[in-house]
Structure 1
Amino acid sequence: MVLNISYDDKRQEDEINNFVGSSYTFWQSLKMRGSGSQKLIIKQSHDVFKPYLTQRNSTKYCNIELRPRGIGLRFRFKLEAIGWFIPYEHLEIIFSDNHIHLNDTTTQYFMQLEPSHRSKIDQQFMDKLLTLKQ
């Protein structure tokens, strides 16, 4: 599910929460030592994301938020915030030290991501993601 999440909308928030679960509380996030990824660069994506990612002279950054029943991938487009939400049962992950490939098996949307400042993907985050996906 790809949504513009720039503005607070109770119906949209309920729809997201029903789809991938509510965000972890501060204490839950603290207990699991964080629920967000490092800053990632979007290298490749499905055509549905192209209108949001085609800007000249601009690197597109994103981050991944872990949720109880799925993930939320968020990135900026001009002044708007865009979210892509995927339940764990529809999520396919391929990763190595220097990239992550996320695929939604129902829509076939995908993104290939690389770390922005570090040379490797944060292994602790990937372990949490794979554990929650099981």
Structure 2
Amino acid sequence: MILNTTHYNPDHKQIIADLVGDSFSLVQKLKMKGIGSKRMIIDEVSPNMQTMMNRVSDINYANIELRPKGILVMINQGLKNFKWIIPYYQLVIYKVNGSSLHAQGRFIHFRNSKTFKENKKFFDKLLDEKVKYDMQYAMPEFI
């Protein structure tokens, strides 16, 4: 689900909490050594997300925030802000010449640049959180 968060809407907070959980507490954020990525350059997006990209030749940026049950991808388009809410069970990550996030019939590809390389530890943390979430629902192994 993509929300236009340019202007404050009290309903958005509840929608986000229902889908990916409330934000981590301050203590959890400190233990995790941060829950947000640095901004990354968007290289390509799926056709159904083109409306959120700058029409002129400006560079598009996005950053990611971890939540207990998913992630938030914050996209900036000029003066507009969008949040793409992705629960972990829908998230698929590909590492091909940068990184791609796929979910809900959409994708966003981040350019393999200096800003992306600075986020390597963040992506490792993201994969750890996704695996931890998926292990809660793992099928038991029978002998």
Q: TM-score, normalised by structure 2?
A: 0.83
Q: Which amino acid aligns with 2:95?
A: F
Matched position secondary structure for 1:63: strand
Instruction: Give the C-alpha shift of residue 13 in structure 1.
Output: 0.9
Q: Which runs of 4+ in 1 moved over 4 A?
A: none
Q: Which has the larger radius of gyration?
A: 2
Between stretches 46-55 and 35-44, larger displacement belongs to: 46-55
Instruction: Give the C-alpha shift of residue 116 in structure 1.
Output: 4.9
Q: Which residue of 2 aligns with 1:103?
A: 102
Structure 2 unaligned segments of length 5 or more: list them.
132-143
Instruction: Tell whether 2:50 aligns with 1:53.
Output: no
Find the aligned partners of 1:56 and 1:133 in 2 and give their Cα distance.
35
1:78-119 deviation line (CA, Å, top 9, x unaligned): 2111010100000000125x5111000xx2100101255346
Q: Which residue of 1 aligns with 2:81?
A: 81
Between stretches 111-120 and 57-66, larger displacement belongs to: 111-120
Instruction: Tell whether 2:128 aligns with 1:128.
Output: no
Whether contact under 8 Å (1:115, 1:121) holds in the other structure is: no
Distance change >3 Å, CA 131–CA 7, structure 1 → 2? same
Structure 1 unaligned segments of length 5 or more: list them.
none
Whether contact under 8 Å (1:2, 1:85) holds in the other structure is: yes
Find the aligned partners of 1:6 and 1:67 in 2 and give their Cα distance.
20
Distance change >3 Å, CA 5–CA 115, structure 1 → 2? farther
Percent identity, aligned pairs only? Answer: 33
Instruction: Give the C-alpha shift of residue 54 in structure 1.
Output: 3.5
Give 1 or 2: higher strand fraction: 1
Q: Which amino acid aligns with 1:7?
A: H
Q: Which amino acid aligns with 1:102?
A: L
Q: Which residue of 1 aligns with 2:134?
A: none
Q: Which residue of 2 aligns with 1:15?
A: 15
Q: Which residue of 1 aligns with 2:136?
A: none
1:21-67 deviation line (CA, Å, top 9, x unaligned): 11222332121001011210111111121112142120001100011
Aligned length: 131
